[in-house]
Structure 1
Amino acid sequence: MKKILMAATLAAGAFFALNSAAAEKVRIGYWSSGVSLGYGTVLEEKDFLAKHGIQAEFIHFPDVNAPIKALASGSIDLAFGAPLAGVFSSAAEGVPIKIFAATQPADVQFVVPQGSPITSLDQLKDKKVGTSPAGSSVAVIATTLLQENHHIKPADFQLIGGNESRLAQFLVQKQVDAAALRSLTIEQLDELKVISLGSFADEWKRLTHSDAVPYIGVGAVRSELIDQHPEVVAKVIGALRDTLAWGASHPQDVSKLLQQKANLPARDANIYASRWNSMNQLTFEPTDIATLKRQHDVFVASGTVQGNVPDSLYDDAAYKLANTSH
């Protein structure tokens, strides 16, 4: 009997050891464009995840909404810059995902080409407006702000979707009248001169009467992983923090990495490195959760997002664990 119990104990120990080892392997997905491209490149090329005991498999997606679909299908475990609007919609449909951090503030501006007759956002009715693809956080926030602050309903303008470089091209070719572009992209523009009609931050403050800045990207994870292994997500959070700190203190190295691995021109890479802290962050304090909940309420009220989400969507267990072990 003792031998049987010992064998059973050893078998159970081996089982849990295997499960623990398997949990350390994390499939991380991100959109290979915009802000995510630069941060993802640094995260992938440096060894911060390995130092925290995470064996990462990176999966790149050409579509901004693809990481959400991959989380829903179980193709990836975690996304560090998932589009917030897509997370809300998926959670409302019952997809088992959770938010574990706020990662990308909405550093976005409405712009028109220099010389455009359009001088205010009120004039965008019946116009073509370029944003990130439909369903993205940028598209949802832009639509919400135009409707709520300027009485321009979704049916009153034509949304033209595309990645940042494509939208800049649309402006040059006059295929759109205005566009919602990240401040990073605006600074990177060379030949095209644009005029800002307003920022997401200022428009959001006008709408909500608060100083909170909305988020376009969040850290999203399969519910099963964070429920069963919050310590694994905490390790990822630690690595994400290390990546942020390293990028902030090594702008020249960030630029070199983006030129070598992401094929960015030197000028664009330098600009990205200089705006590192304004585009990337890792936080999930009560004020951040309150802002995310407010965003959901505003999106639902404006009709740009459908359905309610449970409070359990905002899971700070791994964040708190990371703070304890940091």
Structure 2
Amino acid sequence: MKSFRSVLKAACTLVIAGACLTSAYAAPLRVGYWTSGTSLGFGAVLEAQKFFEKQGLQVQFLHFPDVNGPTTALASNAIDLAFGTSLAGAFSLSQQGVPVRMVAATQIVDAEIVVLADSPIHSAGELRGKKVGMSPIGSATTGVGTAVLDGNYGLKLADYRLVAGDEPRLAQFLVQKNVDAAVMRPTTVAQVPDSAQKVRVITTLSDQWKQMTKANTPPYIGVAVMRSEWLKDNPADAAKVLAAMRQALAFGAANPDAVVAILKKAGNMSDEGARFYGDHWTTMNTVSFKSGDIDTLKRTFEVFKAAGTLKGELPADLFYQKPYLDSEAVK
């Protein structure tokens, strides 16, 4: 009997050790985000303040210089989570049958149509036949931009020349007069030298969207999307992921000076650009997935579809609220 108990005890010890070892070497959550757009600040704060790690999650961050990088990585199973990823890209992924679920809205449209101060252009309706700088096709900002130009002014893509580039390049194009107008975030505009004297805002995408939809709700352009396999394999951790993101949002709102310091280091931003981002944290970032948010996302899909950016129908199971709702109980 003593021998059997000794063997049983040894076996239990091995099982416990094995479980601990498995936990210690569990595959990390692979998180990807675009580092040349709106998600830069949110991602930099998440990394610097280790909000995922504080929830007990192992995490590996992957950075993508191209707006379509996170969606491509989701499709190839190179990452488990993308936040701030293009809404249009997320819709397209789900339509293609990629096993993903949308778990939160994370970025609000925050872009302006700008021209040089001495430009003869004073309205978005005057962009016919002009060169207009925007993010590459696939960006949700460009999806909104092309939709409002069509919906409010009847301007199809064939009616103007879309010049694609990341935002620093778009600012360069504008200053060098390689484009007649550009769609850029206020944070990028603020980094143009002497922007107050050199650049003029003719409208915002938010105002144009509200005019087109006759609604007061601005569209989301960035969302958090997770691979379905990870959600299935880690049901208890999904809420922790959303809790960490909500904590990062609250931290940025309460600590703009810390956001500035983080962005200057991670994004190599100027003092003025980083300060503008820190001051506008809550107008660019959110972590929300209430029923009203989902209604707005569905409406945005219909607008994209009407403008020809997307086709077909949305999968019925794309929107997955459970992690967000469960995160409300996580501290």
TM-score by length of 2: 0.91
The residue type paired with residue 206 of structure 2 is: A
Specify the alignment match of 2:325 in structure 1. 320
How far apart, in 2, do the equivalents of 1:311 and 1:7 lie?
A: 50
CA RMSD of aligned residues (A): 2.4
Map 1:101-120 → 2, pairs under 5 A: 101-120=104-123
Specify the alignment match of 1:233 in structure 2. 238
- Matching of residue 95 in structure 1 with residue 90 in structure 2: no
Specify the alignment match of 1:38 in structure 2. 41
Specify the alignment match of 1:137 in structure 2. 140
Contact 2:100–2:318 (CA under 8 A) maintained in structure 1: yes
Distance 1:94 1:188, change over 3 A: same
Structure 2 residue aligned with 1:27, among 25, 30, 33?
Answer: 30
DSSP 3-state at the match of 1:79? strand
Give CA deviations for 1:164-206 in whole Å, capped at 9, x if unaligned: 1111111111111111111222233323422222211111111
The residue type paired with residue 144 of structure 1 is: A
Structure 1 residue aligned with 2:260, among 255, 260, 278?
Answer: 255
Specify the alignment match of 2:218 in structure 1. 213
Specify the alignment match of 1:242 in structure 2. 247
Residue 47 of structure 1: CA displacement?
2.1
Contact 1:89–1:307 (CA under 8 A) maintained in structure 2: no
Distance 1:73 1:13, change over 3 A: farther
Specify the alignment match of 1:72 in structure 2. 75
Specify the alignment match of 2:201 in structure 1. 196
Map 1:131-210 → 2, pairs under 5 A: 131-192=134-195, 193-210=198-215
Distance 1:23 1:294, change over 3 A: farther
Unaligned runs of 5+ in 2: none
Q: Which moved more, 1:196-205 or 1:97-106?
A: 196-205
Map 1:40-55 → 2, pairs under 5 A: 40-55=43-58
Q: Which moved more, 1:8-17 or 1:274-283?
A: 8-17
How far apart, in 1, do the equivalents of 2:295 and 2:31 lie?
A: 26
Distance 1:119 1:231, change over 3 A: same
How far apart, in 2, do the equivalents of 1:150 and 1:19 lie?
A: 59
How far apart, in 2, do the equivalents of 1:68 and 1:13 lie?
A: 39
**Identical aligned residues as a percent:** 45
The residue type paired with residue 161 of structure 1 is: A
DSSP 3-state at the match of 1:112? strand
TM-score by length of 1: 0.92
Residue 14 of structure 1: CA displacement?
8.3
Residue 228 of structure 1: CA displacement?
3.6
Give CA deviations for 1:230-279 in whole Å, capped at 9, x if unaligned: 32221111111111111222222221222223322222222211111111
Residue 16 of structure 1: CA displacement?
7.8
Distance 1:116 1:264, change over 3 A: same
Contact 1:41–1:258 (CA under 8 A) maintained in structure 2: yes
DSSP 3-state at the match of 1:324? coil
DSSP 3-state at the match of 1:174? coil
DSSP 3-state at the match of 2:59? strand
Contact 2:240–2:330 (CA under 8 A) maintained in structure 1: no
Larger radius of gyration: 2
Contact 2:132–2:161 (CA under 8 A) maintained in structure 1: yes
Specify the alignment match of 1:63 in structure 2. 66
Specify the alignment match of 2:131 in structure 1. 128
Contact 1:111–1:180 (CA under 8 A) maintained in structure 2: yes
Unaligned runs of 5+ in 1: none
Residue 158 of structure 1: CA displacement?
0.9
Contact 2:305–2:311 (CA under 8 A) maintained in structure 1: yes
Question: After TM superposition, what 4+ stretches of structure 1 lie above 3 angstroms from structure 2?
Answer: 5-24
The residue type paired with residue 299 of structure 1 is: F
Q: Which moved more, 1:217-226 or 1:302-311?
A: 302-311
Distance 1:184 1:15, change over 3 A: same
Residue 22 of structure 1: CA displacement?
6.5
Distance 1:14 1:309, change over 3 A: farther
Q: Which moved more, 1:5-14 or 1:160-169?
A: 5-14
- Matching of residue 289 in structure 1 with residue 294 in structure 2: yes
Specify the alignment match of 2:316 in structure 1. 311
Give CA deviations for 1:258-310 in whole Å, capped at 9, x if unaligned: 22233222222222111111111100011100000000011112211122221
DSSP 3-state at the match of 2:38? helix
